[in-house]
Structure formats: structure tokens, C-alpha cells
Amino acid sequence: MIDAVSFENGTLGYLDQRFLPLKEEYIRTQDYRQAIEAIKTLAVRGAPLIGIVAGYTVVLGLNSYNGNKEAFPSYFDSLIDEVEASRPTAVNLFFATARMKEVYDAHFASNSLEELFARMLAAAKKIHADEIVNCDNMARHGVELIHQDLAETLKTKKLTVLTHCNTGTLATGGSGTALGVIKHAWKEGLIEKVITAESRPLLQGLRLTAWELEKENIPFLSISDSSSAFLMQKGMINFGIVGADRIAANGDTANKIGTFAHAVSASVYNIPYYIAAPVSTIDITIDDGSQIPIEERSADELRTIFGTQVATPSTPVLNYAFDVTPNQYIRGIVTDKKAVVGSYSEELRTLFD
Ligand code: MRU
């Protein structure tokens, strides 16, 4: 069992994902700045896991506070600002800090700091526990959707599925979003094999998804990102499913760079392409994908590969970490509440009722 993240006795534990699968290093820290650094450097990553770690990071920040109650509000504000500045795209991070702010607003005035901190710890633990349950619910709804949508194909053969980046236990603490659906569908005998796109430049597909699938004995093939259209043309892919970092109210979806290209290719060959994400990844406050902040990461992530220089240090680079897939390329969005197929602008709102 992969232990992506834990929080015990005031200590955050996490598997450092930067070196997987070659090195399995479990870090333990009580330092909230180290936890922020872990989010920034992708030692922990994946939208739901970023949210979970953000909640615990706030708790670590509270634990290191040694001032009085009067001075606390300004400390709390700057702590939240620091956590929120770690990564911009995954809305789960802001979902988590919003939860912590709600607890603060409701309980600061009438409680001691000790009582307030205990409530915040409980809120952070609940975010973590909820994301694990969300994965199981997404898996259930996703498998139902596959049964319905791919019934014809399933009459004659098992399915080959394309996925991108890593959306499993490492990204969620539970079974996963898209990878959770895949694992569940495989257990039900619907899947022949998984094709995992490498996900340049940090190789979450090649390193992390492959590692998870190997542990579960699920057959898979890794491909370069640019192979997917060719494999679709050859009839080698029956459907695609990926996770999300932020979904706008109209269903436009930000996910790991490369997702959009797979989705466009899938639409050319009429291959269903799904998103799986918990409701905590839907940003109902923004109308469409053009408003999603897209993280740009350092040029060196492209110019070097695992520390080895592969381009001159002066090579100009544009390194977007995410892209936005417009809703018309998305056959369905599987959430923990239900699977939504089309009419996203109306249907996604109902998930918040
Ligand atoms: O940069 P990362 O590795 O944090 O990007 C992760 C992704 O793009 C995932 O697909 C997304 O967060 C969904 S994770 C369940």
C-alpha cells in the first residue's frame, strides 16, 4: 500500500515523488515552510493531494506560532498567503485554505487558540478523509459510465485506455481519480491494458503511474506523449480518461500539459475522452477555462533531464505545466457525486446544491 501522505503527532509525512520510482524516500517534517517547498517542487503533487497537504501545512504553521491571541490574525493571514502562493492552478489548494479560513472565521472570537488549532487540525484531517472517500465514489460512477458508453465495444473485447500524468494514490491519498476509475474497471474485468503517456517534462506518467500500475499488477504500456494520435489512428485506444487541476463552470478543464492534444486526437477518431475529478476540483466561480491561472514553471525543467543538461543554458523556453481542454472535447466528467455527460454549464452547478 502506497502511503502518499500522513499526519501524526504534529508531523507531516510524505513520499518524496521527485525521485520515484528509483528512490523511495519518506520525509517527515514539522516545518510548514518545508511543506510549502514540497508543494512547490512537486515532492507532493496532484490536485487532491496538494489540497490535503495544504490543509496540514496550515496546521504546521499554527503549531509553530508562539505569540498571543491578539497578534494571531495577522500571522494567520500571512500563513494563508504563503500557502496559497505555492502553486496556482490546482483549485484544491484554495479549497483547502478556504476551509481553514471558514474554521477561523467561525471559531476565533469565541475560543482559545488551543481550541481553535484543534478544530483546524480536525478540518485538515476531514479534507484528507473526504478525498479518500471521493476516490471510491468516482471509481463507482466512472465504471458505470464505461459500462453504458462502451457497451458495444465490451461485447467483443476488453478495453485499452489512455491516461496522462499521474492521478492515482500518489495524487490523491486514495485510489485515485482517473486512475482510481481505471483500477476499479480493471478489477471488474473491463480493461485489457492501460497506456500511460510519459507526461513531459517531469514524467509523472512514465515514472509514477507506471509505478502504481506495476504494484497493482495491471498490464500497461508507456508511450511518449506525441504517440497518442498515431495509436488512436491504428485503433489501439478505446477511451481516454484523465484527472483535472481545475474545472470551470462550463466544463473546460485544466490538466497536465498534453491533455488537450490527446483530447483533440480522440475527437478526430470519435474516441470517448473523460475527466475524473472530485467536486473540490470544480471552480464554480469561473465561467470558462480562459480564466484558469496556468502555472509556468522554470526553464531548467526542460533544459535538463534529471540533472543532466540537454540544451544550452541560454535556450529560451516556455514551460506551461497545464493546458485547458475545451468542454466540447470532453465526453463526460466523473465526479464523486455523479457522472455528468454534456450540458456542463447547467449540470455542474447542481453538484453544489
Ligand atoms: O503538476 P502535477 O503533477 O501536480 O499535475 C498533476 C495533474 O495534472 C493531475 O492530472 C491532476 O492534478 C489530477 S490528480 C488526481
What confidence score (pLDDT) does residue 105 get? 98
Q: Which residues are CB-contacts of 213 (< 8 A; sequence separation ≥ 6)?
A: 179, 194, 196, 219, 220
When pLDDT is cut at 50, 70 and 90, the band that residue 1 belongs to is confident
Which residues in the chain are classed under CATH 3.40.50.10470? 139-350
- Among residues 130, 225, 245, 252, which one is catalytic? 245
Question: Considering just the CA atoms, what is the radius of gyration of the chain in Å?
Answer: 20
Cell of 59: 496546521
Q: Which residues are CB-contacts of 293 (< 8 A; sequence separation ≥ 6)?
A: 88, 89
Tell me how far the alpha carbon of residue 115 lies from the centroid of ligand 1, in angstroms.
Answer: 34
What confidence score (pLDDT) does residue 306 get? 84
CA-47 nearest atom, ligand 1? 12
Three-state DSSP state, 274: strand
Q: What is the pLDDT of residues 187-228, one digit of tens each?
A: 999 999 999 999 999 999 999 999 999 999 999 999 999 999
Asked if the 139-350 domain carries CATH number 3.40.50.10470, the reply is yes
171 lines ligand 1 (CB under 6 A): yes
288 noted as active-site residue: no
Q: What is the pLDDT of residues 165-197, one digit of tens each?
A: 999 999 999 999 999 999 999 999 999 999 999
pTM above 0.75, yes or no: yes
- Average pLDDT for 147-153: 97
Residue 128, Cα to own-chain centre: how many angstroms? Answer: 13
What confidence score (pLDDT) does residue 225 get? 98
Kind plus residue range of the DSSP H or E element containing 7: strand 5-8
- Average pLDDT for 242-248: 98
d(CA 24, CA 34): 18
Residue to mutate, 167, 208, 225, ligand 1, most ligand atoms under 8 Å from C-beta? 167
CB crowding 30-46: b at 16 or more within 10 Å, else e:
eebeebbebbeebbbbb
Contact 269/234 with Cβ under 8 angstroms?
A: no
Residue 349, Cα to own-chain centre: how many angstroms? Answer: 21
Nearest CA owner, ligand 1 atom 15: 167
DSSP assignment of 67-134, as one string? Answer: S-TTTHHHHHHHHHHHHHTS-SS-HHHHHHHHHHHHHHHHHTTTS-HHHHHHHHHHHHHHHHHHHHHH
What confidence score (pLDDT) does residue 128 get? 98
Tell me how far the alpha carbon of residue 100 lies from the centroid of ligand 1, in angstroms.
Answer: 22
48 lines ligand 1 (CB under 6 A): yes
Q: What is the pLDDT of residues 273-283, one digit of tens each?
A: 999 999 999 99
d(CA 11, CA 32): 10
CA dihedral 255, 261, 263, 265 (to 10 degrees): -170
Strand ranges of the sheet holding 253-256, from the earlier edge strand across to the other edge: 282-283, 246-248, 253-256, 322-325
Angle between helical axes of 47-63 and 72-84 (0-180°, round to 10): 150
Which residues in the chain are classed under CATH 1.20.120.420? 5-131
d(CA 197, CA 165): 7
- Average pLDDT for 117-144: 98
Q: What is the pLDDT of residues 291-337, one digit of tens each?
A: 999 999 999 999 999 889 999 999 999 999 999 999 999 999 999 99
CATH for the stretch 5-131: 1.20.120.420
165 lines ligand 1 (CB under 6 A): yes
- Average pLDDT for 37-55: 98
DSSP assignment of 282-298, as one string? Answer: EETT-SSGGGS---B--
The percent of residues above 90 in pLDDT, for the chain, comes to 99
Q: What is the pLDDT of residues 73-82, one digit of tens each?
A: 999 999 999 9
When pLDDT is cut at 50, 70 and 90, the band that residue 42 belongs to is very high
d(CA 69, CA 63): 14
What confidence score (pLDDT) does residue 181 get? 98
